């Protein structure tokens, strides 16, 4: 089992820099900490709340979440609403002046009402995170890509996290949702050359058979035939955002987050709590039973997230 773990650090801004060394930066910023063989990747949603998807990406990339609360306001409230829709374990960290009793009351009815909480103390928080691992997920390899770039003399390099099985150099995989077949030329884990990467490890992948400009966030490396691609997807609302004011029904125009694929989507039939059909503007890759987040970026007032869906082929 890998000792690596990926942690979303959300809530109060500019906190992850206290926990790791800055690495890749875009709309999300990654920080790395490797201590005694334990590798931690911390992800901060740099452009949230201006760019709502930044928060979704950070949470979707993570094994666990640290929710740092420095005040109770609109930004914290929207973060809490979104965190409630993800299944990954969440720990609350309370900045000075934030009362736990008041916070539990504010989050009543969500999983944050009973989430573990601790005062903000960076050394203790680092020690806590150092005890976390990503667990296990056996099976065929699956890697969700989040960044990509060209490297002179190497070619296309993609960054991502192994989300199932073990990835091995020279594996031949499909780049979903495209139809391209690629080969893993070489692998690095935290800048160290390796022959394989296990579930939970953050990996740099040199990819043969595709150019860097053909790689993008949300794409998935997995064996041919292990995922489906579609633009028409049937779904069941598994968990509705308790603060969302709209209806999840025919005519809702929003965005769907599937893994790290974030695509414009419309509910074309049905109404929650019954089954619905979602049409996306381009193909997405998924397996039956996968979960997705339905966002409504035009929602006002209230959080820009409608609920969590369970997907099935149409």
Q: What is the pLDDT of residue 1?
A: 53
Closest CA to 112 of 72, 57, 55, 53: 72
pLDDT tens over the chain, length 314 residues: 568 999 999 999 999 999 999 999 999 999 999 988 899 999 999 999 999 999 999 999 999 999 999 998 999 999 999 999 999 999 999 999 999 999 999 999 999 999 999 999 999 999 999 999 998 888 999 999 999 999 998 899 999 999 999 999 999 999 999 999 999 999 999 889 999 999 999 999 999 999 999 999 999 999 999 999 999 999 999 999 999 999 999 999 999 999 999 999 999 999 999 999 999 999 999 999 999 999 999 987 789 999 999 999 87
Q: pTM here? A: 0.96
Residue 301 pLDDT = 78
Residue 263's Cβ-side half-sphere holds a number of Cα atoms within 13 Å equal to: 25
Main-chain phi, psi angles of 75, to 5 degrees? -65, -40
| Domains of the chain from N-terminus onward | 5-129 (3.40.50.300), 142-222 (2.40.30.10), 228-313 (2.40.30.10)
How large is the greatest C-alpha to C-alpha distance in the chain, in angstroms? 57
């Amino acid at each position: 089992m890998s000792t690596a773990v990926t942690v979303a650090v959300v809530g109060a801004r500019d906190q992850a820099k206290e926990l790791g060394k800055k690495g890749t930066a875009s709309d999300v910023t990654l920080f790395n900490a490797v201590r005694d063989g334990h590798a931690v990747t911390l992800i901060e949603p740099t452009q949230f709340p201006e760019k709502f998807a930044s928060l979704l990406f950070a949470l979707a990339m993570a094994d666990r979440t640290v929710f740092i609360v420095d005040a109770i306001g609109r930004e914290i409230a929207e973060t809490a609403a979104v965190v409630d829709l993800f299944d990954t374990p969440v720990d609350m960290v309370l900045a000075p002046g934030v009362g736990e009793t008041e916070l539990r009351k504010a989050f009543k009815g969500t999983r944050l009402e009973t989430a573990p909480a601790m005062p903000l103390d960076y050394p203790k928080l680092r020690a806590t995170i150092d005890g976390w691992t990503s667990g296990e997920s056996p099976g065929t390899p699956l890697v969700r890509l989040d960044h990509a770039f060209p490297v002179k003399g190497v070619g296309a390099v993609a960054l991502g996290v192994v989300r199932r099985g073990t990835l091995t150099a020279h594996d031949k995989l499909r780049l979903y949702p495209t139809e391209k077949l690629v080969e893993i030329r070489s692998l690095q884990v935290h800048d160290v050359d390796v022959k394989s990467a296990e579930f939970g490890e953050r990996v740099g992948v040199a990819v043969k058979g595709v150019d860097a400009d053909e790689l993008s966030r949300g794409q998935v490396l997995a064996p041919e035939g292990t995922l489906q691609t579609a633009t028409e997807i049937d779904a069941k609302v598994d968990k509705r955002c308790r603060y969302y004011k709209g209806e999840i029904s025919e005519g809702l125009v929003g965005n769907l987050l599937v893994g790290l694929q974030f695509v414009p989507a419309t509910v074309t039939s049905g109404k929650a709590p019954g089954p619905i059909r979602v049409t996306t503007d381009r193909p997405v890759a998924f397996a039956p039973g996968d979960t997705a987040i339905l966002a409504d970026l035009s929602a006002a007032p209230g959080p820009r997230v409608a609920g969590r869906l369970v997907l099935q082929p149409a």
